[in-house]
Structure 1
Amino acid sequence: MTNLIITIALCVLVAIAYAAAALIQARHAHLTIRELVHIPVLWLALALNGIGAALHVTSLGFGPLSLIQPLGVLTLVIAVPFAASAAKRKVSRLELSGMTYTVIGLTGLALLITTPGTTRTLASGELVALVLATIVFVGAFGFLGRRPGASSLYEAAAGGVAYSVCSALCQTVVVSVRETGAGVLLRPIMIFGVVAIVVFAIAATVLTQRSYRHGLAAPLAMTNLVNPASATAIGVLLLGEHLGTTPFQMVIAAGCAVVAGWGVAQLARARDADARHEVPAADRETVRAAR
């Protein structure tokens, strides 16, 4: 019982850290990278993300992944009210509906699609192939997201994939060091992997930062959907893991994915609705002058 309480408490702290970091990033999502590095509070957001990651790793020592992974959706549950409160408004009905659908879908996926944890690492060829494939995917979706009028969900998806690949590469590096010793870090493939981790971590941060420029909820939901999905795909395709589900459960999981996708769509609609109701400052001044 004590471990269960500690696990839940840590997961709540993780969600709060990630949600607070996302809210800070969302407030400055309109700025360029050069402008962002000069804003002290953004470094606080990066620190909160680091603290969240550390607490997540710690929680794995007290509870099963089958419990911890579903609790990850608390980030969305906390972030949406945080964003509404910061804007001094109530959570809209559309936001509440989208958040509910997304949480139900993600929780269902996390409970149904589970892979037994293994300590297998990526082989050299697999590591290189994964990095190259990620560069292509992240680059393509990042480019699509930068087009005028494009949906910010492209960048949110790219950021989610970059985060999950960082996790896979980190696992390979950590396990290799634990089994072989720190000297393994001097091998060219390990150096390549560490550099890739740094690059993808930066890319994921920048992409998610940009994805918040039109609102927080929908991009955050997309990242929370893509991250575990791509991590599961990496585990099955490259790390020899197996989906711990029956064909019937896979069908249910597909339904959960549809529900989660519908939730993301609802959150995107809520974001667009808010944007339509916002009156630019220049227009407000014009109205005041006319009066």
Structure 2
Amino acid sequence: MNATLVAVVLSLFSAVAYAAAAVAQERLASRTSDSGVVRLLGSGAWWWSVTLNGSAALLHVAALKYGPLTLVQPLGALTLVAAVPLGARVAGRRVSAVEWRGTALTLAGLAALLVTASGPAPDDVLSVPEALAVAGITAAVIGALSRPGTRPGLRHATASGLASGVASALTQTVTVAATDRSGPLLSAQVIGVALLVAAFAAGGLLLAQTAYRGGLGAPLAVVTLANPVAAAIIGLALLGEGLRGGAAGLLLALAGATVAARGVVTLSRPVPEPAQLPTKEPEEHPIAAELSEEEHPVAAVLALNPQSASYEPVLIPRQPAPAHLTPL
């Protein structure tokens, strides 16, 4: 089977698993205002989301073995596409027309990116100094975005996307280096970069959990956009990856990225609630308004008015109780 096709299929399964994990994290975040690590460790729902994220990460690692970052990372946008119907199903509603339009735009943009990003299996890796430099710069940016006191939301989502993107780039280095038969399986390079991968993956997971306290749509959209941007920059600048087709391929990739971004933004918009008809307080009949409390009607019937030859409501006033039933 073609290596590019294998990478695409594995990325699809990975996106579905990531989407299920995001929905589980959002439901957990909506039930609690405290996302502390100790509290999360005692939650079964949290461990379920961790399991889903771990499965998705393994599929993602396998995809990076067969495809370059510029191909695999944009397919991560399918996480948002898969999360839309999953989130709607969990919320007990139908997918809206806006969500379908956003899905179509995202898929169209990804199709254009796949045409230009399809390339041979990766064979270049980050050196230890390059990996440390990338990790240091990313950690500084994440620290600035998620500094203490920052309101949970899109800043944490951006930091989560950057952490996940860098973790993917470092994962590719570990995968290629570990499977290179010309060197030892567990070299110092593999072990050191693997520790960085674990740190950024865990950080991205916790940052996403914090971001989802503000809802699923917009934070997941930002995570989905920041992730491939960070990974693509590393792939193009440090791993020697490129786009097919020369200048025309670059223009097609930019157009596809624009369309996909538009689709992601469309999917991030809040779903409008079903319109509710305004309620009107019942008005008191004019005849009833003139009656005292003792005379207030107990029923209303329709009677034929001989003058207008139409049926009109007639109020039956309250009758006084018989004398033999009058309380002493």
Please indicate the TM-score interval, normalised by the length of the shorter structure. 0.7 to 0.9
Q: Kindly indicate whether the alpha-carbon contact (under 8 Å) linking 1:115 and 1:235 is maintained by their aligned counterparts in 2.
A: no
More deviation, 100-109/154-163: 100-109
Shift of 1:182: 4.0
Instruction: Measure the CA separation in 2 of the matches of 1:229 and 1:26.
Output: 23
Q: Compared with structure 1, are the counterparts of its residues 265 and 167 closer, same or farther at alpha carbon in structure 2 (3 Å cutoff)?
A: closer
How far is 1:2 from its partner?
11
User: SS at 2:270's partner residue?
Assistant: helix
In structure 1, what is the Cα distance between the partners aligned to 2:166 and 2:95? 33
Residues of 2 paired with 1:115 and 1:263: CA distance? 25
2: CA distance, partners of 1:260 / 1:10: 20
Question: Structure 1: 5+ residue runs without aligned partners?
Answer: 278-291
Q: CA deviation at 1:192?
A: 4.2
Which gives a bigger RCO, structure 1 or 2 (Cα 8 Å, sep 6+)?
1
Tell me whether 1:84 sits opposite 2:88 in the alignment.
Answer: yes
Greater mean alpha carbon deviation, residues 123-132 or residues 135-144: 135-144
**Structure 1 residues 13-37: Cα deviation after superposition (integer angstroms, max 9, x where no partner):** 4333222111101111243123211
Residue identity over aligned pairs, in percent, reads 36
Give distance in 1, aligned partners of 2:219 and 2:131: 28
Q: 1:104 to 1:212 in 2, by over 3 A?
A: farther
Q: Which residue is equivalent to 1:26?
A: 26
Aligned equivalent of 2:247: 247
Distance of aligned partners of 1:202 and 1:69 in 2 relative to their CA distance in 1, 3 Å threshold: closer
Which runs of structure 2 are paired with 1:85-164 in the superposition (5 Å)? Answer: 85-114=89-118, 116-143=120-147, 147-148=150-151, 152-164=153-165
Q: Provide TM-score, normalisation by structure 2.
A: 0.68
Gaps of 5+ in 2: 276-328
Shift of 1:132: 0.9
| Residues in 2 aligned to 1:190 and 1:3: alpha-carbon distance in whole angstroms | 23
Distance in 2 (CA, whole Å) between partners of 1:208 and 1:192 is 25
1:229-284 CA distance string (max 9 Å, x none): 3222111111122332421232232222222332333233326x56xx9xxxxxxx
Higher strand share: 2
**CA spacing shift, 1:87–1:262, aligned 2, 3 Å:** same
Does the CA-based 8 Å contact 2:74-2:228 persist in structure 1? no
Deviation track 1:64-108 (CA, whole Å, cap 9, x = no partner) reads 669876765443222111111111122233333333323332342
Task: Deviation per CA, 1:132-151: give whole Å up to 9, x if none.
Answer: 1111222223349x634x7x
Indicate how the Cα distance of structure 1 residues 140 and 244 shifts in structure 2: closer, same or farther if over 3 A, else same: farther
Bigger helix share: 1
Instruction: Measure the CA separation in 2 of the matches of 1:199 and 1:97.
Output: 36
Sort the Cα spacing of 1:225 and 1:113 in 2 relative to 1 into closer, same or farther, 3 A. Answer: farther
| In 2, Cα distance between equivalents of 1:7 and 1:131 | 25
The answer as to whether partners of 2:71 and 2:117 remain within 8 angstroms in 1 is no
Other-structure match for 1:234: 234
- What is the count of residue pairs matched by the alignment? 268
Per mean C-alpha deviation after superposition, the further-off stretch among 218-227 and 6-15 is 6-15
Query: Which region of structure 1 is more displaced relative to structure 2, 122-131 or 101-110?
Result: 101-110
Instruction: Please provide the CA RMSD for this pair.
Output: 3.4
Is structure 2 residue 50 aligned with structure 1 residue 46?
yes
